[in-house]
Amino acid sequence: MISKQYLITGLIMGIVGIGMSLLFRLQLAWPEQPFGIFEATLGKWAPDGVMDPNVYLALVTIHGTIMVFFVLTAGLSGTFSNLLIPLQIGARDMASGFLNMISYWLFFLSSIVMLASLFVEAGPAAAGWTIYPPLSALPQAQPGSGLGMTLWLVSMAIFIASSLLGSLNYIVTVINLRTKGMSMTRLPLTIWAFFVTAIIGVVSFPVLLSAALLLIMDRSFGTSFFLSDIFIQGEVLHYQGGSPVLFEHLFWFLGHPEVYIVLLPALGITSEVLATNARKPIFGYRAMVASILAIAFLSTIVWGHHMFISGMNPFLGSVFTFTTLLIAIPSAVKAFNYITTLWKGNLQLNPAMLFSIGLVSTFITGGLTGIILGDSTLDINVHDTYFVVAHFHLVMGISALYGLFAGVYHWFPKMFGRMLNKQLGYIHFWITAVCAYGVFFPMHFIGMAGLPRRYYTNTAFPYFDDLADINVVITIFALIAGAAQIVFLYNFIHSMFYGKRAEMNPWKSNTLEWTAPVEHFHGNWAGDIPEVHRWAYDYSKPGHDEDYIPQHIPLKKGEQELQH
Amino acid sequence: MTTLLTIAILLLISIAVWQITKIFQVAQLNQKVDDSQVANDKDNDWNGKLMFAFLVFIYLITIYSFWAWGDVLLPESASEHGKDYDRLMWISMVLIFFVQIVTQALLHYFSYKYRGRKGLKALFYADNDRLEFIWTIIPVIVLAALILYGLYAWSNIMNFEEDEDALVVELYAQQFNWKARYAGADNVLGDANVRFLQDFDGLNIVGIDASDPNGLDDVVVQELHLPVGRKVIFKMRSQDVLHSAYMPHFRAQMNCVPGMITEFAFTPTTTSEEMRQNPDMVAKVQKINKIRYDKSQELIANGEESLESYQFDYLLLCNKICGTSHYNMQMKIIVEEEKDFNAWMAQQRTFAQVIQ
């Protein structure tokens, strides 16, 4: 099925993305030291085994691009929306199977193009995943801004098309194809999350496409949307009247909602996994839905917090600080609701559950530093430092990744009809959890010390010499974390073929996907689609023998459906 | 060779993991086949306890980080608004640390206390609107207060008066160095644009428009001197791509945008010499010089030159990715007494003198 295609493509891109991060972490911990692995992987970009500064910038650029878009957007939304939307709402298939297929193959094509860009002579795009012009517009500014950048733009344009087609499908399916009795208020929170995520995607991705098209025009057709008054490589360029700040607005108009496109599915998965494994309803279902909607709405009006010191009018800075600190509130409500879901539960600590609890932990840690960054005044001294890098990795890199893992561990039986090995799952979780904090907690300190991001080396500044051993600690944790993922990959591949055969509902969950037969076939259910009589969270309901009541079980005589 | 070794190690690790899995599987032969990969009471017990241990780990790593690396944080600010900045930062940090300590504790403690075991039944507790209201309204109030304070500070910093006696300085960014242009006796910067760069055989290094009389007394330098206690208004330009003028000790940063003049103002309060005497800075410089000394021993042993020892100076660094040498785009900033500043300025050449 398409969800498996998305997952495997996402995992392969993830291997590339994480591999790249380990390479540049080696450079940061032991600057300008020769490494055999650099020669092996980077070829001409590591003469005598020492990393070239240009390829360092290319690595951080492509790492960011791959992880945000290919792994955490397509790999997360693509996998779980396609898997769960039809099954959890009680539909035979997505609204348009054809568009769905196209959306996957466009994703596949964009992945190929992005990987191909790694091999061009002047190097891949290297202006940061944010690709601000003029650096990204002018090949004379940086080698990677030639063909590498062109391929990046082509890949992303195709990716955006894929994402939009997918999102349209998800929205239409959720609105139109819910089974009898599946009102919006009986939807599992996963579906709410995927649905709202798709809406945000439809609203914001086209703006990135417009920015990319305007950039293509500046690069190839002599226009001046983003460029003005530039002297480079000994000549005055012809561009007049454009502004790089315009690009920043257009980019971040997608860029900010994008991080919620990454996060909301992970939060939806967490709600589902926590409730199922706590044998308790998710606490505050209505508040959770409201907070998803609030986060979605607010996410479209906070983008300027990435631009506080861009040179834009300071009044805008005030506006965006205000809206950004508002968005902390629904996020906080979600975190409190998750914690209350655990309270007085009967916690089944499966690997998926551990990752979901881990997500709440890193989401809180990362989210709290967002309060510092969202305050325009405080951002002045930490903008573009490692403080920002630590923040977004905790709240997006780790939390959303945990969501991905939780989803894989929880729905592997559904996708492959087999169980993942739980002991390997425990080893995977605990090593990853310790290393995640080991990498990113110390990073806040080097950021507060004033160390800028995207620096190939810190040795040009004696002032930063005392940060060197922190960088070594970070890198060592990163290397161990990378190795721990091998445990997961082994488990994943081995269990796909040799895992214990799964029963129909191994986690004793309430949602409809577990009523479909283990061996998947088109149409999902052999007979009629189940009819829904209750919400998804009747776990440990008083007056019942079992500690779970699937959604399709009719109410007992005299039983009340939870008023919500 | 290293590659071969790495592959061999990865292979061996995979084999080890494979064998360990087999051992676990064999050990579980007497369990019900379907349930073997679902958590049982023993798994819950182990992992619940590990969850509590993880809480301890989070606290320990927090404490350790402060103990080991607290000294790398920036010293007290060297600008007037920097004090407001640091106070706001401190208050925000206290707030978020408080929330962090409490919420992580609840999360991990509950994960431990309510770990599943036979006979345990969960409480069917689906919602509580009053509780939701309480933990919505408290963050609203706290964050509102924080925002208002922050916006007040932001407004003070960014909406500065163009005082008569403020020093006007242009920061000129290019791949990969900085130049500074003082406005001269008239305290007005002359017009400038990249299209003037090629005038005067390359002597016009920031592209001043020679036809603008205001520009003739401008002074271009590659080391920024500032008189202590006097407000400086930076007008920033870029020659090519985006750069960012980051001066962390002054709590100052602003992007330099080609085609636009951006601004930032602050008043330095501490001379370079005074900052060098600051006890935190003394300790930091000592630590840095020890590191450099140790590194130098290594270099000398390899027949290379030793590293120079380090004396603190304020820095201007580039903080927006700008290309290959983004990591080494810096300018020294010297804050000194007014009389020393004037003496230094008197020795610099004006634009008119340069292009003669």
- B198 contacts A236? CB cut-off 8 A: yes
- Split at pLDDT 50, 70, 90, the class of A564 is low
- B85 contacts A377? CB cut-off 8 A: yes
- Residue A562: list chain B partners with CB under 8 A: 126
Average pLDDT over residues A280-302: 96
B226 in Cβ contact with B334 (< 8 Å)? yes
- SS3 of residue B269 by DSSP: coil
- B312 contacts A229? CB cut-off 8 A: no
* Residue A151 distance to chain B (closest CA, Å): 19
**Entry pTM:** 0.94
Structure tokens at A553: 């079980």
Average pLDDT over residues A318-345: 96
Size of the A and B interface in Cβ pairs below 8 Å: 407
Alpha helices, DSSP H, located in A395-503: 399-416, 422-448, 468-498
Best of B1, B132, B208, B285 to substitute, by most chain A Cβ atoms within 10 angstroms, is B132
CA quadruple A63, A70, A167, A270: dihedral sign: negative
Quote the CA–CA distance of B104 and B94 in Å, as a whole number: 15
DSSP A467: G
Quote the CA–CA distance of A514 and A504 in Å, as a whole number: 6
Give me the phi and psi of A58, to 5 degrees please: -65, -40
Q: Which residue, A479, A24, A472, A481, is CA-closest to B69?
A: A472
- Chain B residue whose CA is closest to A372: B92
Q: What residue ranges do the domains of chain A occupy?
A: 2-229+236-515
Report DSSP letters for A267-283, one per residue.
HHHHHHHHHHHHTSPPT
- SS3 of residue B232 by DSSP: strand
A494: which residues sit within 8 A by CB, 6+ positions away? A421, B18, B21
pLDDT at A110 > cutoff 80 = yes
Percent of chain A with pLDDT over 90: 95
* Residue A348 distance to chain B (closest CA, Å): 5
- Split at pLDDT 50, 70, 90, the class of A554 is very high
Q: Is B91 touching A (CB cutoff 8 A)?
A: no
H/E element holding A329?
helix A314-342
**Amino acid B31: pLDDT:** 45
Q: Which candidate from B73, B126, B197 shows the least CB-CB separation from A283? A: B126
- Residue B288: list chain A partners with CB under 8 A: 462-463, 465-466
Quote the CA–CA distance of B248 and B314 in Å, as a whole number: 9
Quote the CA–CA distance of A260 and A77 in Å, as a whole number: 11
Percent of chain A with pLDDT over 70: 100
Average pLDDT over residues A511-525: 92
∠ CA A66-A69-A75 to the nearest 5 degrees?
A: 95
- Chain A residue whose CA is closest to B81: A377
Beta strands in B57-212 (DSSP E): 167-174, 177-182
Over the stretch A111-129, which tens digit does the pLDDT of each residue have?
A: 999 999 999 999 999 999 9
- Radius of gyration of chain B, Cα coordinates, nearest whole angstrom: 30
Phi-psi map region of A294: left, alpha, beta (phi>0 left; psi -120 to 50 alpha): alpha
- Chain B residue whose CA is closest to A325: B143
- Chain A residue whose CA is closest to B64: A442
* Residue B47 distance to chain A (closest CA, Å): 7
What amino acid occupies position B283?
A
- B143 contacts A329? CB cut-off 8 A: yes
Neighbours of A122 (CB within 10 A): 16
Average pLDDT over residues A390-411: 97
Q: Do strands B232-238 and B167-174 pair parallel, antiparallel, or not at all (unpaired)? A: parallel
DSSP A154: H
* CATH class, range B167-275+309-354: mainly beta
pLDDT at A210 > cutoff 90 = yes
A530 in Cβ contact with A90 (< 8 Å)? yes
* Residue A162 distance to chain B (closest CA, Å): 29
- SS3 of residue A94 by DSSP: coil
Q: Which fold has domain A2-229+236-515?
A: Cytochrome C Oxidase; Chain A (1.20.210)
pLDDT at A180 > cutoff 60 = yes
- SS3 of residue A559 by DSSP: coil
Give me the phi and psi of B271, to 5 degrees please: -70, 160
- Radius of gyration of chain A, Cα coordinates, nearest whole angstrom: 24
B18: which residues sit within 8 A by CB, 6+ positions away? A490, A494
Q: How far apart are the first and last CA of chain B?
A: 63
B261 in Cβ contact with B236 (< 8 Å)? yes
ipTM given for this complex: 0.95
Q: Burial letters for B89-112: b for 16+ Cβ neighbours within 10 Å, e otherwise?
A: beebbebbeebbeebbebbbbbbb
- Chain B residue whose CA is closest to A335: B103
H/E element holding B130?
helix B129-158
Q: Is A91 touching B (CB cutoff 8 A)?
A: no
- SS3 of residue B238 by DSSP: strand
Q: What is the mean pLDDT of each run of 10 residues along chain B (356 residues)?
A: 86 87 67 74 96 97 96 95 96 97 98 94 94 96 95 94 90 96 92 93 92 93 96 96 97 97 96 96 95 92 89 96 96 96 95 88
- SS3 of residue B236 by DSSP: strand
Q: Which residue, B293, B277, B76, B312, is CA-closest to A464?
A: B312
* Residue A133 distance to chain B (closest CA, Å): 7
Q: Is A398 touching B (CB cutoff 8 A)?
A: no
- SS3 of residue A204 by DSSP: helix
Nearest-10 crossing angle of helices A399-416, A79-89: 60
Quote the CA–CA distance of B158 and A318 in Å, as a whole number: 10
Quote the CA–CA distance of B191 and B212 in Å, as a whole number: 6
**Amino acid A563: pLDDT:** 55
Average pLDDT over residues A187-206: 97
- A336 contacts B319? CB cut-off 8 A: no
Determine whether A162 is exposed, middle or buried from the number of CB atoms within 10 Å of its CB (0-12, 13-18, 19+): buried
Q: Is A490 touching B (CB cutoff 8 A)?
A: yes
* Residue B206 distance to chain A (closest CA, Å): 11
CA quadruple A293, A298, A299, A300: dihedral sign: positive
Structure tokens at B109: 């403690």
Quote the CA–CA distance of B305 and A258 in Å, as a whole number: 49
For the range B118-121, what are the long-range contacts, defined as Cβ-Cβ under 8 Å and sequence gap of 24 or more?
B118/B41, B120/A346, B121/A346, B121/A540, B121/A547
Quote the CA–CA distance of B175 and A127 in Å, as a whole number: 14
Q: Cα dist. A385→A136, A407, A560, B254, B319 in Å?
A: 21, 32, 54, 13, 8
Cis peptide before A134 (omega within 30 of 0): yes
Over the stretch A4-29, which tens digit does the pLDDT of each residue have?
A: 999 999 999 999 999 999 999 999 99
What amino acid occupies position A143?
P
